[in-house]
Amino acid sequence: MGKKIIGFLLVIGLMIGTSGCTSSSDKEPLTRTDIVMGTPVTISIYEGGSEDILQKSFDKVSQIESLLSINKSGTEIDKLNENAGIKKIKLSETSYKIIKRAVKYSHLSDGGYDISVGPLVKLWSIGLPEAKVPTQKEIDEVIKLVDYNNIELNDSTQEVYLNKKGMILDLGSIAKGYAADEVASLLKKEGVTRAIVNLGGNIYAVGSKNDNEDWNVGIQNPFSDRGEVVGTIHISNKSIVTSGIYERFIEKDGKKYHHILNPKTGYPFETEIAGVSIISKESIDCDALSTLVFTKGLDEGLKFVEGIKDVDAVFVTKDKKVYITNGIKDNFKITNKEFILSN
CB 61 within 8 Å of CB 87: no
Query: In sequence order, what DSSP letters do the residues of 24-87 get, joined into one string?
Result: SSSSPPEEEEEEETTEEEEEEEEES--HHHHHHHHHHHHHHHHHH-SSSTT-HHHHHHHTTTT-
CB 297 within 8 Å of CB 315: no
Q: Which residues have CB under 8 Å from 56's CB, separation 6+? A: 186, 190
173 is in an annotated binding site: yes
Q: In what order do the strands lie in the sheet with 321-324?
A: 30-36, 39-47, 194-199, 202-206, 238-244, 273-280, 312-317, 321-324, 340-341
Q: Compute the distance between CA of residue 206 and CA of residue 193 in angstroms, rounded to an integer.
A: 7
Burial class (CB in 10 A: 0-12, 13-18, 19+), 171: buried
Strands of the chain (E only): list them: 16-18, 30-36, 39-47, 89-90, 151-154, 159-162, 194-199, 202-206, 215-220, 229-235, 238-244, 249-252, 255-258, 273-280, 312-317, 321-324, 333-334, 340-341
291 is in an annotated binding site: yes
| Distance (Å) of CA 326 to CA 221, 239, 309, 343 | 21, 18, 11, 9
Q: Compute the distance between CA of residue 133 and CA of residue 139 in angstroms, rounded to an integer.
A: 10
Element (H, E) at 338: none
Helices (H) and strands (E) in the chain, counts: 7, 18
Residues at the annotated binding site for Mg(2+)? 173, 287, 291
Residues at the annotated binding site? 173, 287, 291
